[in-house]
Structure 1
Amino acid sequence: MKKTVSVVIPAFNEAENLIVIIDRLEGIFKNTAYEAEFIIIDDGSTDHTLTILKTMASINTKLFYIEFSRNFGHQLALKAGLDQAKGDCVISLDADLQHPPELIIQMLEKWEEGNDVVYTRRSEDKSLPYGKRKSSSLFYKLINVLSSIQIEEGTADFRLMDKKVIDVFRNFEENEPFIRGLVQWMGYKQIAIDYIPHKRHAGTSKYNLRKMMRFALQGVTSFSIKPLYTAVYLGFAFSMLSVLYIPYVFYSVYMGIEVDGWASTIMTIVFFGGLQLIIMGIIGIYIGKMFMQTKNRPNYIIKSTNFVPATTNTNYDIAQL
């Protein structure tokens, strides 16, 4: 009996890439001993992504689509696909073809050798702008310094996971899942494969610097309370810096070049006012995450799908809300 492989692809405004990537994937699995299903999640696209998905699914019985009621983000789109996957292993990759589909053969070989998770490490692409490369490097350094897990630089959401790993993963109901961190945190037998990213086939990247920083903060606050300790250390550091300002205050008063009371007021505002805002912001992030989690809202809402019979969890099915 053939083993089955589920391929999960989140898609946000990827209309120009869908036909190409499915064609490439079918060509890869055609000459293998595996049965493949393709699950594409439309994450609230505003282009013709959904129309193309429905058309393709009408003629391809191995292609399944999930339509979100709005844009819930890449990580939740990926989780929705993993929740639905029925294969003996699940492979996730992006729709823009920067993750080379041909690497799947090597990933399956590593899986057959007994590895539960086969993840990929992106080699540095010298053709990318300097700022993009440095922001990506900073992303991983920030997570590794401030969180309790260690993620190798270049690791992304292009990976293979065994069915038993997926069964555990489905139990997670975090409001803001950081999937590459969760996979690392779960353990199991993992192995890496290095690859050189291809150029995006069509469209533009959805991750700018602002989104990368937000993603990094999401990852850090999901796995560690180190930022709270860092806030305490900052308190001590700024207090010590304020002491260094005292000689200048005395000098200014002695020379008569400052208005009485002005220097001490500015010193207090600059050092302690800013420090309080930083600490309150850090604490606020954690409280906000707790607030959203306790609401117990569905992580995503499925507007439509061609899974028959419907296999959506009733907690996430719009028909049950």
Structure 2
Amino acid sequence: MNGAPDSNDGPVLTVVVPVYNEEQALPLAREELNKLLQGFGRTYEVLVTDNGSTDGTEKIMQDITRQDPQWKYVRLSRNFGYQNSITAGMTLARGQAIVVIDVDLQDPPEMIADFLKHWDEGYEIVYGVRSRRTGEPAWRIAITMWAMRAIRWLSDHPMPAHSGDFRLISRRVRDAFIQLPESNRYVRGMIHWLGFKQLGIPYVRRGRQFGQEGRLVGGTGFIAGLVSVMANAVFGFSLKPLRLFSAFGALVLLFTLALVPVQIVLLMFGKHAPPGFMTLLFLLLLNLSVISLSAGLLGEYLGRTYAEVKRRPLWLVDYTLNLAENQKPTVTPPGQAQPPV
């Protein structure tokens, strides 16, 4: 009923790899992941979710799936965004443990061994914490770090600092995750919100070897993509922006009330406040800007509520390769994955 396959006969591990126009990175990723996963001595599958790539990614994955049955391919009908792409992969995964990793391998795949070790110890969510980033421009790192701190400060629910989407979750966590139907998704926040036994492991994030450094998965420009991530995180997990405006309004009201006795005292002594047209104009414009900003903020929350009410599917599948019959998408409740078109 929740769209997840009956995975009792599935592998121990599923590695979900979201891609968009990654024809350069895929061959190396396949080589490194196969070498690593085969050394674990556990059954596994690699599930690639393609956000409607327009380069040679589709052809490469068709060749890979013909040669290697452990590699699965899910091509979405269009670009539904990175967050929905990894949601699709986790939903269709059959593994008892599910790892999400980007195809560019900036997150070191060898850490999957550490994830599995802690999973064996009873942790149900094991995530990477970026202690340092290399191979990226300093300005980009600084902006990203500031954005992550801002998200953490604004969130109503505690968020680990500097964590990303590189993580392992148990099947039980996956089953709980796919019950969350919201359209505007911040997956790492949703996973941490679920609770369960969690552990963060620090690591050094490497620079991207292929593709464009300044772009996020899904073809979104870096700045625009970061703003989108922040918006989903803040508006999806926090009422602090509204509370901050309420607090600001209360302070302005107190300041205004404090001016009343001052004006009365001035009148009692026959004095008048000095005329100031520019001061009055400035205050009026400031008031207008604050009202406009607060109205826009409220509109953002209302707009997202409207998007949730529509309950459109998070993603649609064009076709799949190498998926088991019980793994293929089925009809599910609104707001979750839908059958192939």
Q: Does 1:210 align with 2:248?
A: no
2:126 match: secondary structure: strand
Task: Spell out structure 1 runs of 4+ moving beyond 4 A.
Answer: 237-244
Query: What displacement does 1:86 show?
Result: 0.4
Q: More relative contact order in 1 or in 2 (CA 8 Å, sep 6+)?
A: 2
Aligned runs of 1:87-106 on 2, under 5 Å?
Answer: 87-106=95-114
Aligned runs of 1:1-321 on 2, under 5 Å?
Answer: 4-125=12-133, 127-205=135-213, 206-207=215-216, 208-237=222-251, 250-251=273-274, 253=275, 261=277, 263-269=279-285, 271-306=286-321, 307-309=323-325, 311-315=328-332, 316-317=337-338, 319=340
Aligned length: 310
Q: TM-score, normalised by structure 2?
A: 0.84
Alpha-carbon separation, structure 2, partners of 1:225 and 1:313: 35
- Give the aligned residue type for 1:193: I
Alpha-carbon separation, structure 2, partners of 1:122 and 1:19: 26
- Give the aligned residue type for 2:293: I
Alpha-carbon separation, structure 1, partners of 2:233 and 2:207: 26
Which deviates further from its counterpart, 198-207 or 233-242?
233-242
- Give the aligned residue type for 1:88: Q
1:123 match: secondary structure: strand
- Give the aligned residue type for 2:310: K
Q: TM-score, normalised by structure 1?
A: 0.89
Partner of 2:4: none
Query: What displacement does 1:30 show?
Result: 1.5
Unaligned runs of 5+ in 1: none
Alpha-carbon separation, structure 1, partners of 2:132 and 2:320: 37
Alpha-carbon separation, structure 1, partners of 2:87 and 2:49: 10
- Percent identity reads 26
Query: What displacement does 1:126 show?
Result: 5.5
- 1:22–1:183 distance in 2 versus 1, CA, 3 Å: same
Query: What displacement does 1:129 show?
Result: 2.5
Unaligned runs of 5+ in 2: 1-8, 217-221, 264-271
- 1:200–1:127 distance in 2 versus 1, CA, 3 Å: closer
